[in-house]
Copies of this chain bind each other. A is one copy, B any other.
Amino acid sequence: MGSDTPLSLETYLQERKRIVDEALDRYLPGRENFPPTIFESVRYSVFAGGKRLRPILCMASAEAVGGVGSTVLPVACAIEMIHTYSLIHDDLPAMDDDDYRRGKLTNHKVFGEGIAILAGDALLTEAFHLMSAGDRMKGVPADRLVTVINEIAAAAGFFGMVGGQVADLESEGKVVEKETLHYIHVHKTEAMITVPIRAGAILSGAREEDVTALTEYGGKIGLAFQIADDILDIESSRDVLGKDAGNDEERKKVTYPALFGLEPSRKEAFELVQGALADIKYFDRKADPLRSIATFIVERKS
């Protein structure tokens, strides 16, 4: 990185995405296995063109504290699997009922609801299978691994992503308080952005104060990411975003811009990113990718 020009960040993100994509392809069983439908279904959604932000953050965080990105790659990919499972289940008719995501038909539209539910279940399970695989996680002390598994499960569970999705589901079509919106964003999105950052650092044996600083950074960019997402939902056309833009508004889904207005939301996201940069100000140049990613999060167009 270093120069922090948009071009170098783009190259960095592309290169990292390639590494993550290749690893996911290696870790996930192939379509030649029985029963083939489940592997087709899982691979359809895993390779539907995600930005791989969470695994990239996990590796970048490991490197920011002097660790090695490739060492944490299985955990980074496991988090992406959990993220993908949540998208598959969120899109189901009983949840958000979305037909498109990233410009492609959603999993249940292609494979049916039963297989889509099972594909999500399988991905969530495989995430924990991958993280605990001795041959994949060589060189990482078992106690650190147990800690990280526990944190990831917490971020994905009752008091993390699932809790956020329940609150989101229950508030659709209702007048929602600022507190509820904040609860949904923190639990549904922020938790699963903070945890790869913490995991990368903890697995690399980071000092506690560095993990704390990175957690602060993660919380802020996680919330900024969600606000930016809400803004993109309003602004983008379906061609750019690959899902039904304006969908949130149509379904009266609670969003930041709906509650605070577009400009105040933009300002909030910008300030969060400034705060995140301040949190890791004392880190050396190895944290430059984390700095660039923070800026990218609010400036991205998709």
Contact = CB atoms under 8 A, between A and B. Distances in A.
A234 interface: no
* Chain copies in complex: 2
Interface string A122-138: 10111011001110000
Given A34-B163, A122-B157, A129-B153, 15 more contacts: A29-B158, A29-B159, A33-B158, A35-B167, A38-B163, A89-B118, A89-B121, A94-B112, A94-B117, A95-B114, A117-B117, A118-B162, A118-B166, A121-B121, A122-B158
Interface residues of A, number: 53
Interface in A91-132: 92-95, 112-118, 120-122, 124-126, 128-129, 132
A246 to B, nearest CB: 22
A48 to B, nearest CB: 19
B115 A166 contact: yes
A125 B153 contact: yes
Interface stretch (A64-72, A142-150, A193-201, A262-270): A142-150
B134 A146 contact: yes
A19 interface: no
Contact of A35 (B133, B142, B150, B170): B170
Contacts of A117: 89, 92, 94-95, 117
